[in-house]
């Protein structure tokens, strides 16, 4: 049994990781400033004897009484609408926050796992994307604040590994979805589900021909736990290789939410789609080989669970 600290532990992925680690018998400390999430994500864990929540900004000095055995660093502003609105906070959490979290790992001799992203590949010129691809990021574009902060975080993680001998892991997460996403996070999954459930038009940007590959959160969490338990220091992609256009995705959500929404092609006037990757699909050969990992949940099943969650949430909140 280990004591595991999760920065961003009240977030979408962080709260699912907390559930899984607790059910595996570990103790979990969730550290989060609730900047992009709601405490309701971890409300069900209040009073759990092996769970603790600390409200704290990871970019400030972190003091922890209980020595952690591992630190999973997830704190970030990962949704495009958040990082376009808060570019400096995004850079700070990726840079200063990662430095503080690594410093904490060093002080306690803890294992460290960085939640990185497929955005390190930018608008990729190699398809599908293997870990060996160095990427195509525009450092001064609107997405650069997120992409470069994660690229810096990877460099910092490797520097702590090489220079301080910290036992580190880097997971490059591709688009992941599931219950507890923030309904107004502006991502394609939440936008389409909310629009579908409200019978509003589904806002497909431009011609809808960009592609993404969507992974259900329980599959991702299983991969992260396997990576943590492995000895792999080099980055590992985790995502679902089933690729589709945004338009195909809209039609799937349209069907599963009742089919009353129409599809509307829109071209946002702001910078939302600037440098928006045209194609994205993870090459997961490495995760298959090293972790014996493979996503199991089909898009339709995953979307049904997620839609049920949002239907209930909207009913309770009257939206
Ligand atoms: P999320 O927004 O639900 O979770 C991020 C959490 O970090 C939030 O709870 C937020 O309040 C917290 N946070 C932000 N700034 C903080 C700060 N300064 N101090 C403390 N806490 C802070 O997002 P998520 O989708 O769960 O993402 C979790 C991680 O996975 C992120 O690092 C993200 O970059 C990575 N990731 C996610 C996806 C995805 O599709 N969901 C894809 C690639 C990478
Ligand atoms: N998108 C869309 N309509 C929306 C929201 C997003 O067509 O209402 C597109 C967006 O331009 C991108 C893809 O869906 O090509 C995925 O966007 P998301 O914000 O979910 O995350 P990204 O993968 O770009 O980080």
Please tell me the predicted confidence (pLDDT) of residue 15: 98
Q: Which of the listed residues 30, 41, 74 should we mutate to test ligand 1's pocket, taking the one with most ligand atoms within 8 A of CB?
A: 74
Backbone angles phi and psi of 60, in degrees to 5? -100, 160
Report the CATH number that the domain containing residue 167 is assigned in CATH: 3.40.50.720
Please tell me the predicted confidence (pLDDT) of residue 269: 87
Determine the Cα–Cα distance for residues 262 and 228; give it in Å rounded to an integer: 43
Q: At what angle do helices 98-108 and 144-164 cross, to 10 degrees?
A: 20
Determine the Cα–Cα distance for residues 152 and 149; give it in Å rounded to an integer: 5
The closest residue, in CA terms, to atom 24 on ligand 2 is 276
Please tell me the predicted confidence (pLDDT) of residue 64: 92
User: Do 222 and 101 share a structural domain?
Assistant: yes
Residues with Cβ < 8 Å from 241, sequence gap 6 or more?
128, 213, 281, 282, 283, 284, 295
Report the CATH number that the domain containing residue 187 is assigned in CATH: 3.90.25.10
Asked if the peptide bond before residue 128 counts as cis, ω within 30 degrees of 0, the response is yes
Residue 122 is given by DSSP the state B
Please tell me the predicted confidence (pLDDT) of residue 7: 98
Among 187, 191, 202, 219, which Cα is nearest to 262's?
Answer: 202
User: Do 247 and 138 share a structural domain?
Assistant: no
Burial class (CB in 10 A: 0-12, 13-18, 19+), 132: exposed
Our answer to whether residue 163 is catalytic in this structure is: no
Q: Which of the listed residues 77, 118, 182, 212 should we mutate to test ligand 2's pocket, taking the one with most ligand atoms within 8 A of CB?
A: 212
User: Do 222 and 199 share a structural domain?
Assistant: no
Q: Tell me whether residue 289 is in a domain.
A: no
User: Do 263 and 127 share a structural domain?
Assistant: no
Please tell me the predicted confidence (pLDDT) of residue 94: 98
Please tell me the predicted confidence (pLDDT) of residue 319: 65
Please tell me the distance between residue 259's alpha carbon and the centre of ligand 2 in angstroms: 20
CB environment 58-73: b (16+ within 10 A), e (fewer) = bbeebebeeebebbbb
Ligand 2 pocket, Cβ-based, cut-off 6 angstroms: 80, 175, 187-188, 191, 203-205, 210, 212, 246, 273, 276
pLDDT mean values, one per 10 residues, the chain (319 residues): 97 98 98 94 97 97 94 96 94 98 97 98 98 98 96 98 98 98 95 97 97 98 98 98 98 95 94 93 98 98 98 87
Q: Tell me whether residue 284 is in a domain.
A: no
Please tell me the predicted confidence (pLDDT) of residue 280: 97
The closest residue, in CA terms, to atom 18 on ligand 2 is 187
Number of domains observed in the structure of the chain: 2
User: Do 247 and 166 share a structural domain?
Assistant: no
Please tell me the predicted confidence (pLDDT) of residue 271: 85
Determine the Cα–Cα distance for residues 233 and 192; give it in Å rounded to an integer: 36
User: Do 98 and 44 share a structural domain?
Assistant: yes
User: Do 82 and 153 share a structural domain?
Assistant: yes
| Domain limits for position 256 | 179-212+242-277+297-317
* Residue 103, token pair as written in the block: 């410093």
β-bridge mates for residue 112, sequence order: 71, 168
Cα distances from 258 to residues 12, 155, 193, 253, 307, in angstroms, run: 25, 46, 11, 9, 11
User: Do 191 and 134 share a structural domain?
Assistant: no
Q: Tell me whether residue 288 is in a domain.
A: no
User: Do 152 and 8 share a structural domain?
Assistant: yes
User: Do 13 and 148 share a structural domain?
Assistant: yes
The closest residue, in CA terms, to atom 17 on ligand 2 is 188
């Amino acid at each position: 049994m280990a004591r595991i600290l999760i920065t961003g532990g009240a977030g979408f992925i962080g709260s699912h990781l907390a559930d899984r680690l607790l059910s595996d018998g570990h103790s979990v400390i969730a550290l989060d400033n609730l900047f992009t999430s709601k405490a309701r994500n971890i409300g069900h864990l209040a009073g759990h004897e092996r769970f603790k929540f600390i409200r704290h900004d990871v970019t400030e000095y972190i003091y922890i009484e209980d020595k952690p055995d591992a630190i999973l660093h997830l704190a970030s502003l990962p949704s495009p609408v958040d990082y376009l609105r808060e570019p400096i906070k995004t850079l700070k959490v990726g840079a200063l926050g990662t430095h503080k979290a690594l410093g904490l790992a060093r002080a306690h001799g803890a294992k460290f796992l960085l939640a990185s992203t497929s955005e390190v590949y930018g608008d990729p010129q190699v398809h599908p994307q293997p870990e060996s691809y160095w990427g195509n990021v525009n450092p001064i574009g609107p997405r650069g604040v997120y992409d470069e902060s994660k690229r810096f975080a990877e460099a910092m993680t490797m520097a702590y590994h090489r220079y301080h001998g910290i036992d580190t892991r880097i997971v490059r997460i591709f688009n992941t979805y599931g219950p507890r996403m923030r309904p107004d996070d502006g991502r394609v999954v939440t936008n389409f589900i909310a629009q579908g459930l409200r019978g509003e038009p589904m806002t497909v940007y431009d011609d809808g021909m960009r592609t993404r590959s969507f992974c259900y959160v329980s599959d991702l969490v299983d991969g992260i736990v396997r990576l943590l338990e492995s000895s792999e220091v080099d980055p590992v992609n985790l995502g679902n290789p089933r690729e589709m256009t945004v338009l195909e995705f809209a039609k799937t959500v349209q069907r599963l939410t009742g089919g009353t929404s129409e599809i509307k092609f829109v071209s946002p006037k702001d910078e939302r789609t600037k440098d928006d990757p045209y194609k994205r699909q993870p090459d997961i050969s490495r995760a298959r080989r090293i972790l014996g990992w493979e996503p199991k949940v089909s898009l339709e099943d995953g979307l049904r669970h997620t839609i049920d969650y949002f239907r209930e949430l909207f009913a309770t909140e009257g939206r």
